[in-house]
Amino acid sequence: MKYFHYLFLILFLFNCSSKDNEELIEPKPELKTIYFPQINSTIWETTSISDLKWNENQIQPLLDFLEDKNTKSFMVLYKGKIVIEKYFNNHTSSSSWYWASAGKTLTSTIIGIAQDQGILNINDKVSDYLGNGWTSLTLDKENLITCKNLLSMNSGLDDSLGDDVSPSNLKYITDSEQRWAYHNVYVKLQDVIANANGSTWNTYFNKNLKDKIGMSGSWLQLNNLNVYWSNTRSMARFGLLISAKGKWNNEQIVSEEFLNEATNTSQNINNAYGYLWWLNGKENYLLPNNQTEIKGSLIPNAPSDMFCALGKNDQKIYIIPSKDLVIVRMGESANNSNFALSSFDNDLWTKINQVIN
């Protein structure tokens, strides 16, 4: 009889333990399946608006608004698949257009790739790669400027002297990290890449980013600016890479760790700026050519977790992690000429919200 008492006790305890373990094991979160278009292919799978249960009757008002605002192309991706792809004003899927400052994020991403590969460290001073005398500053002040300062736009250099980045035009205002100012000096990071890698900027860019994700396009020198031109799908491919946390299919192109840094506040002056990325949902922000702090979110009508590449005359890449969306806009200025943010951003998001919500 004592044997059966022990057996019953063991079975009882085992059953309780099993139930406790079952209660402790949480269900695995559903994995997000992201689609990636093939390299060197025009095939790109789509998702219908009806499947997403979006408001189909608001699509045409959105497209009419875009056309009226001098848009050349507009794309929306959901989990990598095309939901909307439209071209306006004689622009086509094969037409090339400039990214303007939206292309700064390409430079940021390449810096991340180079750091992942051990070619450079963003905390190193710029002169480690360019040598002394790349500015007109005294050596002690020049040596305060790191690669991270160029990514974060807080080099302390005078931004009022134009886009020329020759040493004589890079002058001191304050020590690095004391002032945020939108400045073309970031382009010196492309020289950093060339010197650190012992190659050219174009060669390194093509091999490590462009060819990896099937982008088209090229860098064109325009006076003191180096501007990327491509078709719209190439811009969308880049947005998809960033949305997928640096992965393309099964290959990690740029580390998730770097992208987390790049798409969060990079300094303590402009909360809405990462490593050449603009950040929505912050308490305040600064804009190019203006040292006045503006209260509130960058684009109030857009999701607070959105981050974006913003280029002159309303070139846009919006990335919204919470909604698995990448949105691209290319074209002429919607209203007035601008360097990054414009009233068009908020107006456009009014129209987008009417479709997706």
Which of 82-96, 182-196, 272-286, 326-340 has the weakest average pLDDT? 326-340
Mean pLDDT for the stretch of residues 283-299: 96
Looking at the DSSP bridge assignments, the partners of residue 227 are 220
Gap between the Cα atoms of 355 and 338, Å rounded: 26
The owner of tokens 């050349």 is 72
Residue 234 pLDDT > 90: yes
pLDDT at 28 over 60: no
- pLDDT of 119: 97
pLDDT bucket at 13, cuts 50 / 70 / 90: very low
CB 141 within 8 A of CB 134: no
The predicted pLDDT at position 339 comes to 87
Percent of the chain with pLDDT over 70: 91
Instruction: Please enumerate in sequence order all residues whose Cβ is within 8 A of that of 146, keeping only pairs 6 or more positions apart, or say none.
Output: 122, 123, 124, 125, 126, 176
pLDDT for 258 beyond 50: yes
What's the burial of 79, exposed, middle or buried (CB within 10 Å: 0-12/13-18/19+)?
middle
> Quick check: 99 pLDDT over 80?
yes
DSSP designation for 28: P
* H-only helix segments in the chain: 2-24, 59-68, 104-116, 127-130, 139-142, 147-152, 188-197, 201-205, 211-213, 232-243, 256-262, 343-356
Strand partners, 248: 251
Q: How confident is residue 32, by pLDDT bands cut at 50, 70 and 90? A: low
Q: How confident is the model at residue 271 (pLDDT cuts 50, 70, 90)?
A: very high
**Does the pLDDT of residue 14 top 60, yes or no?**
no
**Eight-state DSSP code of residue 161:** G
DSSP state of 120: -
3-state secondary structure of 325: strand
pLDDT at 338: 83
Record the pTM.
0.91
pLDDT band at 19 (very low <50, low <70, confident <90, very high): very low
**Does residue 21 register a pLDDT over 60?**
no
> Mean pLDDT over residues 244-264, rounded?
98
CA distance linking residue 308 with residue 303, whole number of Å: 11
What pLDDT, in 10s, does the model give residues 186-218?
999 999 999 999 999 999 999 999 999 999 999
Token digits for 56? 């189909």
Query: What's the mean pLDDT in 117-134?
Result: 98
